[in-house]
Amino acid sequence: MSESANTIRIRVDVTNPGQFFACCGLLELAARINPGAAGYFEANRFVISEAPSLEKLVTSIVATQLVKLDPDDTTASPILLSAPFCVRLDWWKAGGKASSDLKVWAGTMESFRIARAMQHAMRAPEFFTEDMLNIGTVAFDPDDALTKVEPFYFDARRGPNAHSRDVGFAPNDLGVTTMASPAVEFLCLVGLQRVRPVPTCKPRIFDYHTWTLPLPPEVASPAAAGLLPAVGSRSYRFESWFRTGQRKHKAFITAKPTTSKQT
C-alpha cells in the first residue's frame, strides 16, 4: 500500500517521556483539524497519517488563542486552546496522587504564562520541521520580550541538570538564562490531557507504552497505558523527579525499557 501524501514524520526519542507525550499532543491537535488522523511509532520517528501538512499544523498551533479559564488562579488555571482545536487543558486539576506527581511546576511558576511562552517560541522556522522536538531556545514572555520564561520541565534532557547539587549552583536563584525545548514542553502539556502514564507501586514512578499501528487519539490512550498489546507495544518507565531541595518542583527524567515482570 502506498503511503498517503498527508503524512507527518517527526524525530522522537521514545525514552524521553516529554517527547513521547508531546507526540501524543501533536496527534491530538492533528486530529482536531483532520478527523481520521492516526499516529504510530516507527524506529526514531513518530508518524501521523491522514494529517494536515506539518506547516499547516504548526501554523495553527502557534496562531490559536490560549485562554486562561480561571483568572483568579495565577499558577494552575485550566487553559483553553481556542479554534480550530477547542481543547481544554486541566489534567493537573483532576485530583489524586497521579495528577499531583505529573504536575512538575509549583510555587510561583504560572502554567498559563509558561504555555504562552512555549507556544510563542514555536513561531521560529525550525519548529516547522521534523526536528521540532529537538530545537532548543531561550523562551521569552510574549508580553515582555526581555523577560525569559523557564519551561515546565517535561523535557527529560533538562531535568538531570536542574538540581543545584548536580550543577554546583542554583540556576533559578542566579537568574541564569537557560535553553528550553518549547515544542516538547507545550505539546506534552497537551498530550497529557488524554494520554496518561500508568502509576506504579512506587512514588512518582510511571510506565508508558509505544505502539506501531496507526491509532486515533481515542485509541492511543489505552495503547499508551499498555492495554492493547496487539499493537506492537513496548514499555518504558520514568520518574517524575524532585529537582529542588524543597521537594516541590519536579522534572521528568529519562525512561528505561521495562519488562512485564516489573512492578
The residues, ordered by sequence, that sit 6+ positions from 156 with a Cβ below 8 Å of its Cβ are: 15, 16, 17, 18, 19, 238, 251, 252, 253, 254, 255
Q: What is the DSSP letter of 160?
A: G
Residue 31: the pLDDT is 98
Residue 260: the pLDDT is 57
In the chain, the percentage of residues whose pLDDT exceeds 90 is: 80
Least confident of 34-38, 170-174, 188-192, 212-216: 170-174
Helix, strand, coil % (nearest 5) of the chain? 35, 20, 45
What are the grid coordinates assigned to 238, written together? 520514568
What are the grid coordinates assigned to 149, written together? 520564561
Distance of alpha carbon 91 from alpha carbon 142, whole angstroms: 24
Kindly tell me if the per-residue pLDDT of 32 is higher than 90: yes
What are the grid coordinates assigned to 32, written together? 482536531
> Looking at this protein, which amino acid is placed at residue 99?
S
How crowded is residue 14: how many other Cβ atoms within 10 Å of its Cβ?
A: 19
Alpha-helical runs (H) found in the chain: 17-33, 54-63, 97-102, 111-121, 164-167, 171-174, 182-191, 217-224
Residue 164: the pLDDT is 40
* Tens-place pLDDT, residues 195-244: 999 999 999 999 999 999 999 999 999 999 999 998 988 999 999 999 88
Q: Residue 246: which pLDDT band, with cuts at 50, 70 and 90?
A: confident
| pTM listed for this prediction | 0.91
Residue 233: the pLDDT is 86
Task: Name beta bridge partners: 39.
Answer: 48, 215
Residue 247: the pLDDT is 78
Is 191:23 a contact under the CB 8 Å cutoff? yes
Is 91:77 a contact under the CB 8 Å cutoff? no
Kindly tell me if the per-residue pLDDT of 3 is higher than 60: no
Each domain of the chain, given as residue ranges in start order, spans 8-256
Strand residues in the chain grouped as ranges (E): 8-11, 38-42, 45-49, 66-68, 79-81, 87-89, 140-141, 144-148, 198-199, 205-210, 234-242, 250-252, 256-257
- Across the chain, mean pLDDT equals 90
- The CA–CA distances, whole Å, from 114 to 61, 108, 110, 118, 257 equal 15, 11, 6, 6, 30
* Tens-place pLDDT, residues 134-180: 999 999 999 998 999 999 999 999 866 543 444 343 444 444 457 89
* Tens-place pLDDT, residues 72-82: 999 999 999 99
